[in-house]
Structure 1
Amino acid sequence: RREDEIGTPYCITFDFDTVGDEANGIAADHCVTIRERDSMEQVRIPIDQVKDFLREKCAF
């Protein structure tokens, strides 16, 4: 995991579930997966909540 090696605290994954596949009748969920470097915990949240999520996690 390259991002772990350089110290990126959170990685965001935008994937096929995020955008869906209209041709095959799969609706977009408009969510992303965020993985925390230290705990390796992953959460899937709506895109419009990413800013608040990161703001809360990065607050000092």
Structure 2
Amino acid sequence: DVYKRQVYDDTGGIGKLYARQDEIGTPFCVTVDHQSLEDEAVTVRDRDTWAQERVKVADLQEHLLKRLGE
């Protein structure tokens, strides 16, 4: 099983939120924003590369499991 933890943090700007998660070693951050309500997708940010991509909510679990297995 993959260790899962969900944290809701709405303090500070998005850059500070990402920085806090980087410090504790969170491999991926999932961001839900106003656009998520329209396109049913979230932004997934990679801690190591800072690459961001939009992923459909329905595909999120599979996407993260695949990335964690790399």
TM score, norm. by length of structure 2: 0.71
- Where does residue 49 of structure 1 map in the other structure? 59
- Alignment partner of 1:11 is 2:21: no
The structure, 1 or 2, with the larger RCO (C-alpha pairs under 8 Å, 6+ apart) is: 1
Q: Structure 1 stretches of 5 or more lacking a match?
A: 20-27
Q: Aligned-pair distance for 1:41?
A: 0.3
Partner secondary structure for residue 39 of structure 2 = coil
In structure 1, distance between residues paired with 2:36 and 2:67: 22
- For residue 45 of structure 1, report the CA deviation from its aligned partner: 1.1
Could you list the structure 1 runs, at least 4 aligned residues long, displaced by more than 4 angstroms after superposition.
Answer: none
Letter in 2 for 1:10: F
Q: Report the count of equivalent residues.
A: 52
Q: Which has the larger radius of gyration?
A: 1
The aligned counterpart of 1:38 is: 48
Normalised by the size of structure 1, how large is the TM-score?
A: 0.82
Which structure 2 residue ranges, 5 or more long, are not aligned?
1-18
Sequence identity of aligned pairs in percent?
A: 37
